[in-house]
Structure 1
Amino acid sequence: MTNRIETYIVDSFTDKPFKGNPAGVCILNQTLLDEQMQLIARELGLSETAFITQNKESNKYSIRFFSPKMEIPLCGHATLAASKVLFEIFPKMEKIHFKNIQDLDLSIKKYGDTIEMEFPVYDTVPQNTPKELLKALGIKQIVNSEFNKEAKILLLEIESSELLENLSPDYEKLKRSHNLINGVLVTAISKRDGYDFESRYFWPWSGTNEDPVTGGTHTFLSKYWSMRLNKKKMNSYQCSERTGFMEVELVSDKKLTIKSEAQIILKGELKI
């Protein structure tokens, strides 16, 4: 018997189609094996695909995320994409609760076209960066180097957003330069009007080469820049080729809100 899965592609962290970060969203009406979800994510070829299943209550769902290479515990842009789809299907719904594989309760609210997501706040600790990694990224000098253990991501602050935008990494050398991380987040103070900081995320170890706009990294990036800038509410810009934006606010030491928009660009039916 063929299983038909309602499937979407959604551009997250943008107010324009074909910008931001595209995510797959699959609405499941029956359980899939992990291997099946991994194959679907690989077939779609997007940085992440979200698989959502409704729980007993109408606005509560389980959510899992897969890159083309592996399961990802927490993903911001795919959560935003899944929220956009559900708010589109159920226009009277104003709040959603997602439960991820880490048993985190992700609370989502709708304000017109804007979607607000509650995410946890994580810390970073100082960590040395291999010279080979910096060379592969094309970075000669850094301001700071930190590590987030929850996501296993290395955070590098560099001196300017212009340098950040012009980075062109050698991804094969980047993969060989480190074997204990999932990705490298490079960030800088923004000189664009209306934005506080910028970032780019490279993760050839566990996903695609570059994730165009990354909500999950803001679980620790927001606290990092909050301490550097002495601000609780900030505007973030991801200066990848596709670009994207979000507003972040540290509500407490443990809770963060991320606000942005998303655009549904494709709806279809997946047959397995």
Structure 2
Amino acid sequence: MRIRIVDAFTDRPFAGNPAGVLVLDAFPGDDRLQNIALEVNHAETAFTHPLPAGGEADWALRWFTPAAEVDLCGHATLATAHVLHSTGTHEGPVRFATRSGVLAATPAEDGSITLDFPTTALTPVTVPDGVTEALGTQPLSAHDTGPHVGDLLVELPDERSVHGLRPDHRALGAHSRRGVIATARAENPALGYDFVSRCFFPNIGIDEDPVTGSAHTALAPFWAERLGRTTLTGLQASPRAGRVRTELRGERTLLGGRAVTVMEGELLA
């Protein structure tokens, strides 16, 4: 069983968000999928297999963190599409059947890939008690991303506040199903990005996710409303960092980026 490690939302190795990718003939049992993801020990491991021709999707796709299966994952979808295209396993746009419906990934001539994901609806909420203490800074606002994504999105006063976060991960876990997205407007858009973010997901075994595609389905509508533009670029300011191009199209959000395969091996167990 071939396994690849792919760095997503980056054009260079050892940056962006690493994901395990396994191309299979069919899915084994859930316990085996979870054990493989735990062994890989990256934020997500993606498992995919081909579907019969003529259906609404070309491939089935599932994502597992080291601790649980998740409903939506951007970087591992990008990594999977990259593997299928770079190995010649699939040509042109690919449609994945997932827990979040059919998700499309379209390659461009420059090597980038654009994902077509559902837009996350945001509900303004009062900043929950304890969030300020857990983050170490006072948010300007808070939004619930709903059950599908399962995060609390908080806006911070400035970009410096996002970079400087040293949160209490255990305490953050009490305030959402998955975790907390912290974001702020970019201080200098001339650097090529419009907003910054960091994502903390202690409830699924990820203290800080390096680059999170699913979070950008909430960040895109949040910042499109404030900045007055539907096409934006976000910098996820984790230690590995990565950039995500976003385009808001009503109920759908396009996420663009690149990926690099950094490792290939054989799963023996």
TM-score under structure 2 length normalisation = 0.93
Aligned counterpart, 1:220 = 218
**What is residue 40 of structure 1 aligned with on the other side?**
36
2:164 alignment partner in structure 1: 166
- Following TM superposition, by how much is the alpha carbon of 1:127 offset from its aligned partner in structure 2, in angstroms? 1.8
Find the aligned partners of 1:145 and 1:151 in 2 and give their Cα distance: 15
- Tell me which residue corresponds to 1:24: 20
Determine helix, strand or coil for the equivalent of 2:126: coil
CA distance in 2 between partners of 1:207 and 1:116 (Å): 27
Which secondary structure does the structure 2 equivalent of 1:236 belong to?
A: strand
Where does structure 2 lack aligned partners over 5 or more consecutive residues? none
How far apart are residue 31 of structure 1 and its match? 2.7
Structure 1 runs, 4 residues or longer, greater than 4 Å off: none
- What do the CA deviations read for 1:5-34 (whole angstroms, capped 9, x no partner)? 211100000111000000010111233111
Asked if structure 1 preserves the Cα contact closer than 8 Å seen for 2:43 and 2:206, the reply is yes
CA displacement 1:72-97 (0-9 Å, x = unmatched): 11100000000110011117712111
Q: How many residues align?
A: 263
Within 2, Cα distance between the matches of 1:92 and 1:29?
A: 14
- Whether contact under 8 Å (2:197, 2:235) holds in the other structure is yes
Q: Is the 8 A contact 2:27 2:47 kept in 1?
A: no
User: Residue 32 of structure 1 aligns to a residue in which SS?
Assistant: coil
State whether structure 2 residue 177 is matched by structure 1 residue 181: yes
By how many angstroms is 1:194 displaced?
1.7
Deviations 1:134-173 (Å, cap 9, x if unpaired)? 212111x211100011211000000111110111112233
Contact 2:115 2:254 in 1 (8 A): yes
> Which residue in 2 is equivalent to 1:262?
259
Tell me if structure 1 keeps the 8 A contact 2:105–2:115. Answer: yes
Distance 2:15 2:130 in 1: 32
Matches of 1:92 and 1:201 in 2, distance apart?
32
Counterpart residue type for residue 45 of structure 2: T
Which amino acid in the other structure matches residue 30 of structure 1?
A: A
Distance 2:185 2:79 in 1: 27
Q: What's the secondary structure of 1:226's corresponding residue?
A: helix
Q: CA RMSD in A?
A: 1.5
Partners of 2:71 and 2:90 lie apart in 1 by 29
For residues 124-135 of structure 1, the aligned pairs below 5 Å read 124-135=122-133
Q: How does 1:86-101 map to 2 (within 5 A)?
A: 86-90=84-88, 93-101=91-99
Partner of 2:208: 210
Q: What aligned pairs does 1:222-261 form with structure 2 within 5 A after superposition?
A: 222-251=220-249, 253-261=250-258
- CA 1:125–1:45 in 2, change beyond 3 Å: closer, same or farther? same
Pairs within 5 Å for 1:60-71: 60-71=58-69
Q: Secondary structure of 1:79's partner? A: helix
Question: Which residue number in structure 1 is paired with residue 75 of structure 2?
Answer: 77
Task: Give the whole-Å Cα distance in 1 for the aligned partners of 2:181 and 2:171.
Answer: 16
Specify whether residues 82 and 92 from structure 1 end up closer, same or farther in structure 2 by C-alpha distance, changes over 3 A only.
Answer: closer
Partner SS, residue 22 of structure 2: strand
Structure 1, unaligned runs of 5 or more: none
1:232-253 Cα distance to aligned partner (Å, 9 max, x none): 10011001100100111012x1
Within 1, Cα distance between the matches of 2:212 and 2:152?
A: 14
